Amino acid sequence: MALNAEFKKAVEDSKKLTGKPGNDELLHLYALYKIANGEDISKAPAPGMFDMRVRSIPPPPKFTPLTPALREQAKAKKKEWQKLVDEGITSDQAPGMYVAFVEDLKEKHGYDENKVPEPVGGS
């Protein structure tokens, strides 16, 4: 199986874990995903109080700023992403690292091929 196909399968497999990974594991998975997809951290806006993109639910009709918890979550995601970039992980390396990390998560947290996929980090 080509790495691109393996990466896509790993992305799907990450949504079929039977146990929930820890926060550090989720942040690492997020950062590897961003790098693997060739996203440029220098073009990613810093998460701020008025950043509506990191909401996991549609915004209400009236504008409301992010809660402190969501703002901290967005900052933690970008910090982990930056850490991996600073370590020199490239978009060529990240897909293989992502696949290997998901395999580790499957062993650690369990995996069910028949599970209905759910967002990584979801309840």
Mean pLDDT within 40-65: 65
Side-chain half-sphere exposure of 91, counting CA atoms within 13 A = 7
**Residue 117 scores a pLDDT above 60:** yes
| CATH code: domain of residue 27 | 1.20.80.10
**Residue 53 scores a pLDDT above 90:** no
Q: How far apart are CA 121 and CA 84, in angstroms?
A: 20
Angle of CA points 53, 58, 62, to nearest 5°: 95
pLDDT in tens, 1-45: 567 999 999 999 999 999 999 999 999 999 999 999 999 999 887
Residue whose structure tokens are 């696949």: 99
121 within some domain: no
Enter the pTM of the model: 0.80
pLDDT in tens, 63-95: 566 788 888 999 999 999 999 999 999 999 999
117 within some domain: no
Q: How many helices (H) and strands (E) does the chain have?
A: 4, 0
Both tokens of 20, joined, read 């929930």
Domain that holds residue 37: 3-54+64-109
